[in-house]
């Protein structure tokens, strides 16, 4: 399946702004109580702001012009109290919405991270880790910013604007219509420009992802970069990506700010209309000065929020573009689903390949029509030239990928009919590049092994002894409590392989696959591992992939893997010949 996010479009990408906004609001639907309080605070805030021009007009017409300063003082006091209340309701709104936004951010990040945990290996090989990190960290924050900072402001601006609009029309319908005229043009402009603004932001977010991927790649490979003196190359590469990001950010910035001057222009035109038309009405005796001042204030309270809406609209477009990138991941499904298998397969082997074909997504076929059986308790070796397909064959045995066609049987049943837990309990896979997590050796060898989770170190050491692994543990300074740092740079590659080995053996799998698992281990320790393998329960089936032929001399069967074929190699000498010929021809 194609999991390449840069080639996929999310389900929401083509939907209208309001359809996606509705979906985004569902993310905070469970916060109804807080949203209600924030909404009430917003309504009080906006209502008080709406009332103030009316009070000012009333004070001017009834108390200022008649020089009744007691009244002026009284209404000034009322206005001050109103402003203090708006201060409090504004604070309440920010506090409540800040919490809503942060909780939404928390939930969203968890949702993406959990989805990432569900997705198959092919998803990770088709996407760059840095870009995924940027989606989890940066894009979710853009959505949060909209909710925590903009949503209530957005509603408040809308509310104030509508209220002012109503007042403008009620005070004088003709003047009101003339004042609101430019707003219609603004609306038209917004509708036309929004898709373009969102697109500019999507390009920018993508380039932030590339930037993050570039940083991640160079940090992960810093040793190679230093050893090969490639710092200048990476500096140049980073500079190019950074420059690209700079240009897309400028593009997005221009797009995001386009609304502000346009809205500003139309709002100034509207105020000019009010002034000119209003003065005419006063001259005709149809209007008072106080009313004109109130009117101008309403025009300001109508157009100011509109200006704010311009900035908020951009923030919404950024959030929508970020949401597209997030929803791309959330809408993915693992194509390695558990399926029912009602077919009666005739097989007493532990694992069988039946006419298996396999190709990586978008690539050429790597395995052509492969069939073989792995019997219980036997040891198999896979040999072949580099790139011949050994790891791919082993990955299909462990169902890291599904066959493109044909069937892999485990215990006589389609391997796809086992749940991930059932399968991993049966199959232990020691990868070519073992990965360790930050923690101790104990944490790492018990990774995904619940059987000994609550054991004390002494109990665990007894289990390790029973599995004949105690000599391996001695190779770590502080035994089970030896610290392993993130990326595990404080221990050698060989030690990493030993931990991976203990991790797999302690699970007591029916099938143990070792992919070049002893490549970085000295010959004495390798002998130790070989002894441990000989003492595994009799029914354990072993698959060993190795370039060093001494590692596989005890194999019951040797398979030669090359050019899409997996064929029995017979004796060790014959296998050697095939390998030499294979290497020559490849
Ligand atoms: N994730 C992947 N996506 C696309 N192609 C891949 C992927 N992994 C391996 N390949 C290709 O599949 C072919 C077989 O690779 P594989 O790793 O199975 O070989 P191998 O025999 O295990 O090699 P080695 O001895 O070097 O480990 C190679 O041509 C390789 O380029």
Q: Say which CATH number the domain at 216 has.
A: 1.20.1560.10
Q: Are residues 360 and 316 in the same domain?
A: no
pLDDT-wise least confident of 90-94, 136-140, 515-519: 515-519
For residue 8, pLDDT over 80 is answered with no
Indicate whether residue 392 lines ligand 1 (CB < 6 A). yes
CA 408 to chain centre: 32
Per the CB < 8 A criterion, the answer to whether 147 and 96 are in contact is: no
Indicate whether residue 363 lines ligand 1 (CB < 6 A). yes
What pLDDT is recorded for position 399? 93
Indicate whether residue 277 lines ligand 1 (CB < 6 A). no
Q: Which ligand 1 atom sits nearest the alpha carbon of residue 516?
A: 27
Q: Are residues 183 and 280 in the same domain?
A: yes
5 assigned to some structural domain? no
Q: Whose CA is nearest to atom 31 of ligand 1?
A: 387
Indicate whether residue 387 lines ligand 1 (CB < 6 A). yes
Indicate whether residue 384 lines ligand 1 (CB < 6 A). yes
Strand-pairing partners, residue 383, are 560
What pLDDT is recorded for position 350? 92
Q: Are residues 423 and 487 in the same domain?
A: yes
Q: Which ligand 1 atom sits nearest the alpha carbon of residue 395?
A: 18
- Band (pLDDT 50/70/90 cuts) for residue 374 is very high
* CATH code: domain of residue 449: 3.40.50.300
Indicate whether residue 390 lines ligand 1 (CB < 6 A). yes
Residues 6+ apart with CB under 8 A from 114: none
Alpha carbon dihedral 462, 466, 468, 474, in 10-degree steps, equals: 0
Q: Are residues 176 and 226 in the same domain?
A: yes
**81, two tokens:** 């109290």
Kindly state the average pLDDT of the residues 561-571: 84
Q: Are residues 308 and 384 in the same domain?
A: no
What pLDDT is recorded for position 373? 92
Q: Are residues 30 and 137 in the same domain?
A: yes
- Model pLDDT for residues 314-370, shown as the tens digit of each residue: 788 888 889 988 988 988 888 888 888 777 777 788 999 999 999 998 889 999 999
Q: Quote the ligand 1 centre to 468 CA distance (angstroms).
A: 33
Indicate whether residue 562 lines ligand 1 (CB < 6 A). no
Q: Quote the ligand 1 centre to 392 CA distance (angstroms).
A: 6
Q: Tell me, what DSSP letter sits at residue 14?
A: T
Please count the residues of the chain.
586
- Band (pLDDT 50/70/90 cuts) for residue 585 is low
Q: Which ligand 1 atom sits nearest the alpha carbon of residue 561?
A: 21
Phi and psi at residue 406, in whole multiples of 5°?
90, 180
Indicate whether residue 125 lines ligand 1 (CB < 6 A). yes
73 assigned to some structural domain? yes
Quote the number of domains for the chain. 2
**394, two tokens:** 């082993």
What pLDDT is recorded for position 486? 60
What pLDDT is recorded for position 489? 65
Q: Quote the ligand 1 centre to 490 CA distance (angstroms).
A: 29
Q: Quote the ligand 1 centre to 383 CA distance (angstroms).
A: 14
Q: Quote the ligand 1 centre to 566 CA distance (angstroms).
A: 14
Q: Quote the ligand 1 centre to 390 CA distance (angstroms).
A: 8
Kindly state the average pLDDT of the residues 386-400: 91
**94, two tokens:** 């920010």
pTM recorded for the entire structure: 0.69
Q: In what order do the strands lie in the sheet with 351-359?
A: 365-374, 351-359, 405-410, 413-414
Q: What is the domain extent for residue 397?
A: 351-585
Q: Are residues 302 and 380 in the same domain?
A: no
Report which listed range, 9-13, 54-58, 314-318, 412-416, is most confident.
Answer: 412-416
How many Cβ atoms sit within 10 Å of the Cβ of residue 210? 19
Which of 419, 425, 379 is closest to 536 using CA atoms? 379
Q: Are residues 371 and 295 in the same domain?
A: no
Strand-pairing partners, residue 379, are 542
For residue 584, pLDDT over 70 is answered with no
Q: Whose CA is nearest to atom 1 of ligand 1?
A: 125
Q: Are residues 392 and 426 in the same domain?
A: yes
Indicate whether residue 362 lines ligand 1 (CB < 6 A). no
567 assigned to some structural domain? yes
Q: Quote the ligand 1 centre to 5 CA distance (angstroms).
A: 22
6 assigned to some structural domain? no
337 assigned to some structural domain? no
Q: Whose CA is nearest to atom 5 of ligand 1?
A: 360
pLDDT-wise least confident of 9-23, 167-181, 533-547: 9-23
502 assigned to some structural domain? yes
pLDDT-wise least confident of 257-266, 297-306, 547-556: 547-556
Q: Quote the ligand 1 centre to 586 CA distance (angstroms).
A: 14
Kindly state the average pLDDT of the residues 281-305: 83
Q: Could you say which of 295, 330, 365 is where a domain stops?
A: 330
Indicate whether residue 395 lines ligand 1 (CB < 6 A). no
Q: Could you say which of 297, 330, 363 is where a domain stops?
A: 330
Kindly state the average pLDDT of the residues 527-544: 83
Phi and psi at residue 226, in whole multiples of 5°?
-70, -45
Q: Are residues 164 and 302 in the same domain?
A: yes
Strand-pairing partners, residue 367, are 358
Helix (H) or strand (E) holding 338: none
What pLDDT is recorded for position 407? 92
For residue 488, pLDDT over 60 is answered with no
Q: Are residues 446 and 392 in the same domain?
A: yes
Per the CB < 8 A criterion, the answer to whether 87 and 325 are in contact is: no
**532, two tokens:** 């441990």
Tokens 């990476």, residue located: 234
CA angle 174, 175, 176 (to 5 degrees): 90
Per the CB < 8 A criterion, the answer to whether 299 and 172 are in contact is: no
**Prediction ipTM score:** 0.96
CA angle 76, 77, 81 (to 5 degrees): 115
8 assigned to some structural domain? no
What pLDDT is recorded for position 513? 92
Indicate whether residue 386 lines ligand 1 (CB < 6 A). yes
Q: Whose CA is nearest to atom 28 of ligand 1?
A: 387
414 assigned to some structural domain? yes
- Model pLDDT for residues 207-254, shown as the tens digit of each residue: 888 888 888 877 777 767 777 677 778 788 888 889 998 999 999 888
Residue percentage of the chain with pLDDT more than 90: 16
What pLDDT is recorded for position 495? 79
Strand-pairing partners, residue 295, are none
User: Between residues 236 and 77, which one has the greater pLDDT?
Assistant: 77
What pLDDT is recorded for position 354? 93
Q: Are residues 538 and 571 in the same domain?
A: yes
């Amino acid at each position: 399946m194609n999991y390449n996010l840069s080639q996929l479009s999310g389900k929401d990408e083509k939907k209208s702004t309001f359809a996606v906004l509705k979906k985004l609001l569902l993310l905070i639907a469970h916060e109804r109580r807080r949203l209600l309080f924030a909404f009430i605070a917003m309504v009080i805030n906006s209502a008080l702001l709406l009332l103030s021009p009316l009070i000012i007009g009333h004070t001017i017409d009834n108390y200022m012009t008649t020089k009744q300063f007691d009244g002026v003082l009284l209404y000034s006091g009322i206005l001050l109290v109103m402003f203090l209340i708006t201060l409090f309701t504004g604070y309440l709104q920010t506090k409540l919405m800040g919490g809503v936004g942060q909780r939404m951010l928390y939930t969203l990040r968890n949702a993406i991270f959990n989805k990432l945990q569900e997705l198959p290996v092919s998803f990770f090989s088709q996407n760059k880790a840095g870009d995924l990190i940027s989606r989890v960290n940066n894009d979710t924050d853009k959505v949060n910013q909209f909710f925590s900072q903009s949503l209530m402001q957005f509603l408040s601006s809308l509310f104030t604007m509508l209220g002012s609009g109503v007042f403008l029309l009620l005070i004088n319908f003709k003047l009101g219509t003339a004042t609101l005229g430019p707003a219609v043009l603004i609306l038209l402009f917004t509708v036309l420009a929004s898709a373009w603004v969102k697109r500019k932001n999507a390009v920018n977010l993508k380039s932030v992802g590339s930037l993050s991927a570039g940083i991640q790649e160079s940090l992960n490979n810093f040793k190679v970069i230093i050893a090969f003196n490639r710092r200048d190359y990476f500096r140049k590469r980073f500079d190019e990506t950074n420059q690209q990001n700079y240009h897309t950010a400028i593009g997005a910035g221009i797009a995001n700010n386009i609304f502000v001057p346009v809205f500003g222009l139309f709002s100034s035109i509207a105020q000019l209309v009010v002034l000119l038309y209003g003065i005419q009405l006063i001259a005709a005796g149809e209007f008072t000065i106080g009313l004109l001042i109130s009117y101008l204030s309403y025009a300001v309270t109508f157009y100011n929020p509109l200006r704010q809406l311009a900035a908020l609209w951009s923030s919404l477009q950024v959030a929508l573009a970020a949401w597209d990138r997030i929803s791309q991941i959330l809408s993915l499904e693992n194509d390695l689903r558990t399926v029912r298998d009602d077919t009666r397969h005739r097989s007493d082997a532990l694992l069988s390949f039946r006419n298996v074909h396999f190709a990586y997504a978008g690539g050429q076929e790597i395995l052509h029509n492969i069939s073989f059986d792995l019997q219980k308790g036997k040891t198999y070796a896979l040999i072949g030239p580099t790139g011949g397909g050994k790891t791919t064959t082993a990955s299909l045995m462990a169902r890291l990928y599904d066959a493109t066609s044909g069937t892999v049987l485990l215990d006589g049943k389609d391997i796809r009919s086992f749940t991930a837990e059932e399968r991993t309990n049966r199959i232990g896979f020691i990868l070519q590049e073992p990965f360790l997590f930050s923690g101790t050796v104990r944490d790492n060898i018990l990774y995904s092994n619940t059987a000994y989770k609550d054991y004390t170190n002494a109990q665990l050491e007894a289990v390790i002894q029973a599995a004949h692994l105690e000599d391996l543990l001695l190779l770590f300074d502080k035994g089970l409590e030896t610290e392993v740092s993130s990326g595990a740079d404080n221990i050698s590659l060989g030690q990493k392989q030993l931990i991976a080995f203990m991790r797999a053996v302690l699970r007591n799998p029916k099938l143990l696959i070792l992919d070049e698992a002893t490549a970085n281990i000295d010959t004495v320790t390798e002998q130790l591992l070989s002894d441990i393998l000989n003492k595994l329960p009799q029914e354990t089936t072993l698959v060993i992939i190795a370039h060093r032929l001494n590692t596989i001399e005890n194999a019951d069967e040797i398979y030669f893997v090359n050019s899409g074929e997996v064929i029995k190699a017979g004796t060790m000498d014959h296998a050697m010949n095939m390998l030499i010929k294979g290497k020559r021809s490849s």
